[in-house]
Amino acid sequence: MARCSVCGRRAVYVNRAAGVAFCERHFLEYFDRKVRRTIRRYRLFRPREHIVVAVSGGKDSMALLHYLRGLARRVPGWRVTALLVDEGIRGYREYTVKRLVEYAEEHGVDYHIARFKDYIGYTLDEIVRRGRERGLPYLPCTYCGVFRRYIMNKAARELGGTVVATAHNLDDVVQTYLMNIIGNDWEKVVRLGPVSGPASHPKFVRKVKPFYEVLEKETALYAVINGLYTGFEECPYARLSIRWSVRRMINELEERSPGVKYSLLRSLETAIKLLRSQGAGEAERLYTCALCGEPSAHPVCRACQLRLQLGIMEV
């Protein structure tokens, strides 16, 4: 049985790569130290913020909401609102929506639900069906990711948010890093840091990742200890995604050789530095989408491009 490296009590958490183990109390202290260090090191928040927490209702985002709500109570200039984008995925999303609503009402947290149906006119299920009928080459997660980011920015702005905090953890970040390498998409790699930018646009709400240096198993344990991990639903589209395979591959590597995830994060940081030293990302400017007026990396945003291909937007 592993023992806590600090007090010798029974450990609930073992980190083989770092050679430490913690009991419940010392795990929570370690978790808090780690997240605070990220917040400080990358200056994620300002003294006055309306933090919109992007919540899916899953364990990671519920953990982030719980953590930031606790932190915001001690910072007078901060306000927290939870924002859930409901894609309309039957047999999945309704459960996670329920979890957020119950949590928010129990803890007195402001929340808002933005639906695909209201912003795009269709649910994700309808969009996926339509894409298949039209023979479009995209996986469900492609539509979901593009439209969710689009709605998240717009809804956060409508709520008066000054920053959006997302629950991406170290595992998510290194998975995306590998996916971008596979796609030879280095412009996206430059933007993988814990703060979005340097792009700016009057309609663009800054995005930050407080769990950037936290492992997925750590957010899961934090959620369990805080009574937030009440079920495990899986999106029916998840197994179709490239991320699913990349995630399994990295987890297998980590199992065989502990520390692979940290190495990948360091590799990402080196890549970002090298790319920036060559001027990548600097000239990045956001356009105003010619069709919808939202901020975009292209003259016509990805959401409008997809809507046109799906035949659900008229020009």
Shortest reach from residue 114's CB to Zn ion, in Å: 16
Helix (H, G, I), strand (E, B) or coil at 202: coil
Spacing of C-alpha 144 from chain mean position: 13
CA distance 79 to 60: 20
Site string for Zn ion, 274-293 (x = CB under 5 A): ---------------x-xx-
Look-up: residue for tokens 């919540």?
55
Choosing among ligand SF4, Zn ion, none, which partner's interface includes residue 144 (Cβ < 5 to 8 Å by kind)?
ligand SF4
Question: In the numeric block, which tokens belong to residue 242?
Answer: 């490239």
Report whether 290 contacts 300 (CB < 8 A). yes
CB-CB contact of 142 with 237 (8 Å): no
Q: How far is the CB of 274 from ligand SF4 (least distance, A)?
A: 29
Residues 69 and 256 sit within 8 Å (Cβ to Cβ): no
- Total number of residues binding Zn ion (CB under 5 A)? 5
Is residue 279 classed as helix, strand or coil in its secondary structure?
coil
The alpha carbon of 265 is separated from its chain's Cα centroid by a whole number of angstroms, namely 16
30 vs 237, beta carbon nearer ligand SF4: 237
Contacts of 174 (CB under 8 A, 6+ apart): 250, 261, 264, 265, 268
Distance CA(80)–CA(161), nearest Å, equals 9
**71 CB-near residues (< 8 Å, 6+ apart):** 78
Per the CB < 8 A criterion, the answer to whether 108 and 299 are in contact is no
* Residue 61 interacting with ligand SF4 (CB under 6 A): no
Stretch that binds ligand SF4, among 8-16, 175-183, 232-240, 301-309 (CB under 6 A): 232-240
Per CB under 6 A, which region of 67-75, 111-119, 138-146, 207-215 contacts ligand SF4? Answer: 138-146
| 145 contributes a contact to ligand SF4 by CB under 6 A | yes
Containing H/E element for 46? none
129 binds ligand SF4 (CB under 6 A): no
Determine how β-strand 287-288 pairs with β-strand 295-296: antiparallel
Q: Which stretch binds ligand SF4 (CB under 6 A): 38-46, 102-110, 139-147, 276-284?
A: 139-147
Which tokens in the block code for residue 65?
Answer: 């909401």
Binding-site string for ligand SF4 from residue 87 to residue 106, where x marks contact by CB under 6 A and - marks none: x-------------------
**Residue 98 vs 273, nearer CB to ligand SF4:** 98
* 151 near ligand SF4 (CB under 6 A): no
In the complex, least distance from residue 259 CB atom to ligand SF4, rounded to whole angstroms: 28
Which stretch, 37-45, 71-79, 136-144, 274-282, contacts ligand SF4 (CB under 6 A)? Answer: 136-144
The residue within the footprint of ligand SF4, chosen from 85, 141, 223, 272 (CB under 6 A), is 141
Does residue 235 touch ligand SF4 according to CB under 6 A?
yes
What one-character DSSP code corresponds to residue 259?
T
Subset of 205-234 contacting Zn ion (CB under 5 A): none
Stretch that binds ligand SF4, among 137-145, 191-199, 219-227, 271-279 (CB under 6 A): 137-145
Q: Smallest distance, Å, CB 21 to Zn ion?
A: 50
State the nearest-atom distance from the C-beta of 30 to ligand SF4, in Å. Answer: 29
Q: Is 88 left (phi over 0), alpha (psi -120 to 50) or beta?
A: left
The residues of the shown chain that bind ligand SF4, judged by CB under 6 A, are 87, 140-141, 144-145, 235, 237-238, 241
The residues of the shown chain that bind Zn ion, judged by CB under 5 A, are 289, 291-292, 301, 304
